[in-house]
Amino acid sequence: MKRFLTLLPGLSKPNLADYKWHLMTAAAFAVAAVLAFGAAQLSARVIENVVVDATAEALAADELTWASVETDGLLLRLSGEAPNEADRFRAIRVANQIVSAERILDEITVKPSSDLAAPEFSMEVLRNGLDVQMVGLVPWDFDTDAYVTRIEEMDAELSVENLLEVANYPVPFAWASATDFALLALNMLDVAKISVAAGRVDVVGLAGSEEERDRKRTELARERPRDVIASLDISAPRPAITPFTLRFAIDDEGARFDACSADTEAARRAILSAGRAAGASGRLECTVGLGSPTPRWEEGVVSAIQTLASLGAGTVTFSDTDLSLVVPATVEPEVFDREVGALENALPDAFSMNALRLPPTGAQLAESEETAYFTASLSAEGRVTLGGRLTDERTRDAVQSMAQANFGPAAVTMSARLDPDLPGGWPLRALLAVDVLSVLNSGDVRVQPDLFEVTGVSGMQDASDQISRLLAEKLGQNAVFSLDISYDEAFDPVAQMPTPARCKDWIDEILAQRKITFDAGSTTVTGESADVLDEIAEVLRGCGRLSMEVGGHTDSQGRLETNMRLSQQRAEAVVAGLLARGALVSEFEAKGYGPEFPIADNGTEAGREANRRIEFSLIGASLEAAQAERAENGEEPQADTAPAPEPLDESELVIGVSEPGDDTLRPRTRPTDLAE
């Protein structure tokens, strides 16, 4: 210390006390400064804790417990993960009630929201004639311009208005199949509303007739993609019937409707019920349409049918409000007068009736060698023969020209002779005979002075209805005509449209005439069997997509595993042969059953020959469609699949089967495996 003091120039020994005093003063100030700083720190810490506690309590009171509070000097730090932006702002607002906004550090994060779900894409395509409008929300990747182009390619005159909105989300499953199916429906229907969603299409449309409705509904159902659910609501507007015609007859063949018209469904049911009560049976048809001449049509028709039932024989014919009642001479005059009088009182005022009881048998109009007649005959091959009598050359030329126009010049043979003394109106009746003949697929029309007879076969279920209406309109209400027309489904173009059941039946008819055979030990289809495959492939090409099983069967000769393998390979050879001939066999399954399902006795050569066969069976959706069709037609269910196997002994429960090209035997532990 002394050395230090000597180093200070000018510091004399007497000033040492002063120096010590100054040093102690400085130390006191330093201690005071330290104590002041510590007090300040302590005071700040206390204040910070108070602020943190107050803020935390306020957040908890507002149920914002997710928020954390810390202090950083004079700053208040808020942190934590807020459920959403709204809660984040609430936390800042609560803290702002404790400290000023400029002292709040916002370090709050917001919980990320989950990805938005893709919207439900849907599209509606509306068509009214040549105007098409598309509205809805579709995926971004759906090429709307290309879709519009595909619609315009259907008809150059179509006008398409595209009101579709797009969203940037992936194309959902089965969207392409649904939109393609919607195009098919749009092309088939001139008036339609088609609603499209992923894997679903709802079609509401109009067809021109019931036949067109059934055809289009069947075709759309057949072309529906497997991954698309379709709802088809296609309706046909009621036809306009002119004149409004009904004809009911009771004769030796029983009671029947030759023609039937009704203005409402309720009237249809009442009229058919009256017909059944009068003796009509089987399937009865009555067309519901527009054009009823009176709201009381049902009342007048039912009364007339009941009257005819009381008389026991005859015909009742309505043409609008004109009623013709014709009964044979076998009806007693007293009964005829009584029933006709009752009917006159029961008929509504709008109807006018002409009742006729034919003369006794001896005075009836009967054909003889001197009776004038004209005939028009149509053979099953389409040949037309015209015979009998016509008034003059002009009439004969007109009748022949009309027949040639309807059936072709080469198909008509004219052999009628001229007779100028024929009754009045004969040319009209002859021309009408040719016109009626065009409704038949084969048959005869015979014209006599007071009788018009029609017999034949037609592929139209309402042929009698059409002919009755035509004759009543052309010949008048008092005309006497006889109809004997049978319906043959083979000539009905609608009934002959391919369905799974019909396609299966057509294939069975081919196989019933000629079998698909193979050389011994061979799997190659050759010779006449190739011709059989040609015929089956032609049927399948017209049937479209079908689910079928081609089953191969053998006799019981030889080893079981060899027969199983051979039958499998032969079934596959048939499927391959059909594919090579252009048949759609993507849903065909080849199954080899070996000798498991004999149809004849394997103890004889003829039986073994019958057991060596190829069979076609419907499966899956095609089988369900066939069963539904038969049920709708009131037919008995048919076995469209291979018969279930007979129970086997336990010793037979393990059967060795090898796949084509595989020599390794594979056990099957259940006999039903062979039929699956």
87: pLDDT confidence band, cut at 50, 70 and 90? Answer: confident
pLDDT digits (tens, 9 = 90+) for 369-378: 457 889 999 9
Is the Cβ–Cβ distance between 627 and 563 less than 8 Å? Answer: no
| Rounded distance between C-alpha atoms, residue 434 and residue 467, angstroms | 12
Strands (DSSP E) contained in 154-312 are 159-167, 191-197, 200-206, 229-235, 245-251, 254-259, 261-262, 287-288
pLDDT surpasses 90 at 550: yes
Strands 131-139 and 159-167: parallel
pLDDT digits (tens, 9 = 90+) for 34-83: 666 555 555 556 667 777 888 888 888 888 888 888 887 778 888 999 88
pLDDT digits (tens, 9 = 90+) for 312-355: 999 999 999 999 999 999 998 888 888 988 898 899 989 999 98
Question: What sections of 249-392 are H helices per DSSP?
Answer: 265-277, 297-311, 333-346
| Rounded distance between C-alpha atoms, residue 496 and residue 487, angstroms | 13
Copy the structure tokens of residue 146.
């290309």
The CATH class that applies to domain 500-675 reads: alpha beta
Q: What contacts 652, CB < 8 A, 6 or more positions away? A: 671
pLDDT digits (tens, 9 = 90+) for 364-416: 444 434 578 899 999 988 999 998 889 998 998 999 999 999 999 899 998 88
Domain 41-110 fold:
Histidine-containing Protein; Chain: A; (3.30.1340)
Q: State if pTM tops 0.75.
A: no
pLDDT surpasses 80 at 621: yes
Closest CA to 169 of 120, 114, 135: 120
Is 48 buried (19+), middle (13-18) or exposed (0-12) by CB count in 10 A?
middle
Is the Cβ–Cβ distance between 524 and 573 less than 8 Å? Answer: yes
Is the backbone of residue 425 left (phi > 0), alpha (psi -120 to 50) or beta?
Answer: left
99: pLDDT confidence band, cut at 50, 70 and 90? Answer: confident
Q: What is the pLDDT of residue 472?
A: 83
Strands (DSSP E) contained in 29-153 are 68-72, 75-82, 104-110, 122-128, 131-139
Q: Which residues pair with 163 in a beta bridge?
A: 135
pLDDT digits (tens, 9 = 90+) for 444-502: 999 988 889 999 998 888 888 888 888 888 887 677 888 898 888 777 776 667 888 88
Is the Cβ–Cβ distance between 324 and 293 less than 8 Å? Answer: no
| Rounded distance between C-alpha atoms, residue 636 and residue 202, angstroms | 32
Q: What is the pLDDT of residue 119?
A: 84
Mean pLDDT, the chain, whole residue set: 83
Is the Cβ–Cβ distance between 208 and 216 less than 8 Å? Answer: no
Q: What is the pLDDT of residue 640?
A: 55
pLDDT surpasses 80 at 566: yes
What 3-state class would DSSP assign to 8?
A: coil
pLDDT surpasses 60 at 670: no
Q: What is the pLDDT of residue 661?
A: 39
Domain 374-491 fold:
hypothetical protein tt1634 (3.40.1520)
Q: What contacts 26, CB < 8 A, 6 or more positions away? A: none
Domain 122-235 fold:
hypothetical protein tt1634 (3.40.1520)
pLDDT digits (tens, 9 = 90+) for 515-546: 888 877 778 887 788 899 999 999 998 888 88
Is the Cβ–Cβ distance between 204 and 233 less than 8 Å? Answer: yes
- The mean per-residue pLDDT over the stretch 436-440 comes to 90
22: pLDDT confidence band, cut at 50, 70 and 90? Answer: low
Q: Percent of the chain, pLDDT > 90?
A: 38
Q: What is the pLDDT of residue 508?
A: 92
Q: Which residues pair with 371 in a beta bridge?
A: none
Copy the structure tokens of residue 626.
């066939």
**Tokens 């026991």 identify what position?**
312
Lowest mean pLDDT among 17-31, 57-71, 276-290, 370-384: 17-31
